[in-house]
Amino acid sequence: MDDSLSENAALYVLGLLTGDEQAAFERALQEDPALAAEVRTMTEGTLALAASAPQVAPPPDLRAQLLAAFQTETDAGQVPAAPLTVLPPPSHGLKKTSDSRSGGSPPQAAPRLLHLLPWAAAAVLGVMFAQQKQELTSTRAESSKIKADNVSLTERERHYLDAIRISEAAKAEASTSLASTREALEKAKAGLEDLNGRHSTLVAELNALRQDSQLDKTRIAVLGSLLENSPKAVAVSLWRQETQQGLLVVENLPALPPGRDYQLWVIDPSRKIPVSAGVFKVDVDGKVRLEFKPVAPVREASKFAVTVEREGGSPTPDLKQLVVIGG
């Protein structure tokens, strides 16, 4: 039931509805059992409130004033109709009033005092209804505010949870990235240690060869890397001029794609073009040991170099593809 029907029910019980409003409300009263029940409850409450009013002795002059006022209203035809049916007064009250009346007033004037009780009850009930309506309005406003606050809190909680989830995901991703970086560093460290070990071994072998009396007439050359992507590439060439033969030991050269070969060159100052000493490939570790012999006699092997050429070799070196050189 809406608030307008509740307000009209109170006005109807108090007799304050007139004309079209009263007719419309009475139609609604016939169609709505809940409304009819509410009207009955209000009527019973009003009657109970009027009947429970305590009897108080009026001032001595109140009777005369009220009788005069009712007599005036009766003569003018303005006696208000009581909105509710009330019980008749006690018999002793009627008798006392009849005995003390003077001046030929109608015997029904004194009982009209009872018409004031419903109006007083109606006034009290109206105040109660107004207070209840105000309290209901305040309660609804507080309820709406609480609902709005709950919605706001729920939205803020959702934002906080989203932020926490994003933070946890970022933390997990950072932890994974850090673990990967540490693993890569460990592998790089292990690779560097292995490379240093191989270099030390190669240097030790070279020193041992130099101490060998059979290498008195052997030329030893160390070839340094020219590769940016393989700065640790190194090669050692052992050359015997008398036999025109040599040995090349290579470390850390990158493997070549299909169709390409490494080619060794002996640089002789007496020749305009370096002399080819053969082609080779490296294994998966970038290593090779190559015994070589130049394709033409070498008067003086001042330097050795390695280039990248087409598969099978080239008659002249491609200096743009130079990878190691030394002498």
pLDDT per residue as tens digits for the range 211-232: 554 556 788 999 888 888 878 8
Lowest mean pLDDT segment, chosen from 143-157, 243-257, 287-301: 143-157
| 305-319: b (≥16 Cβ within 10 Å) or e | bbbbbeeebbeebee
Q: Are residues 129 and 236 in the same domain?
A: no
The per-type count for the chain, helices as H runs and strands as E runs, is 6, 8
Domain's final residue, options 96, 112, 140: 140
Give, in degrees to the nearest 5, the angle at Cα 231 between 229 and 234: 125
3-state SS, 181-244, equals: HHHHHHHHHHHHHHHHHHHHHHHHHHHHHHHCHHHCCEEEEEEEECCCCCCCCEEEEEEECCCC
What does the pLDDT average to over 129-139?
74
Within a domain: residue 9? yes
Domain's final residue, options 140, 158, 179: 140
Within a domain: residue 155? no
Q: How many domains does the chain have?
A: 2
pLDDT digits (tens, 9 = 90+) for 167-195: 889 889 888 988 988 889 888 888 788 87
Within a domain: residue 118? yes
Q: Are residues 20 and 111 in the same domain?
A: yes
pLDDT digits (tens, 9 = 90+) for 309-327: 999 999 999 989 999 988 8
Within a domain: residue 40? yes
Q: Is the pLDDT of residue 159 over 70?
A: yes
Both structure tokens of 164: 């926490």
Q: Are residues 130 and 27 in the same domain?
A: yes
Nearest CA among 220, 226, 215 for reference residue 254: 226
Domain's final residue, options 117, 140, 163: 140
Report CA torsion sign: 168, 170, 171, 177. Answer: positive
Q: Are residues 26 and 125 in the same domain?
A: yes
pLDDT digits (tens, 9 = 90+) for 7-63: 778 888 877 878 888 888 888 888 888 888 888 888 887 777 766 656 556 567 766
Within a domain: residue 210? no
Instruction: For residue 30, give the H/E element and its range.
Output: helix 19-31
Query: Which residue type occupies 210?
Result: R
Instruction: State the CATH number of the domain containing residue 259.
Output: 2.60.40
Distance CA 129, CA 133 (A): 6
Query: Which residue type occupies 81?
Result: A
pLDDT given at position 50: 63
Within a domain: residue 188? no
3-state SS, 38-93, equals: HHHHHHHHHHHHHHCCCCCCCCCCHHHHHHHHHHHHHHHCCCCCCCCCCCCCCHHH
Within a domain: residue 278? yes
Count of alpha carbons within 13 angstroms of residue 53, beta-carbon side: 20
Task: Note down the domain range covering 124.
Answer: 3-52+67-140
Annotate 143-167 with DSSP letters as a single string: HHHHHHHHHHHHHHHHHHHHHHHHH
What does the pLDDT average to over 63-87?
59
pLDDT digits (tens, 9 = 90+) for 247-283: 999 999 999 999 999 999 999 999 999 999 999 999 9
Q: Are residues 235 and 121 in the same domain?
A: no
Q: Are residues 8 and 132 in the same domain?
A: yes
Within a domain: residue 164? no
Contact 218, 240 (CB under 8 A): yes
pTM of the model: 0.38
The label of the residue with tokens 């803020």 reads 156
Q: Are residues 107 and 232 in the same domain?
A: no
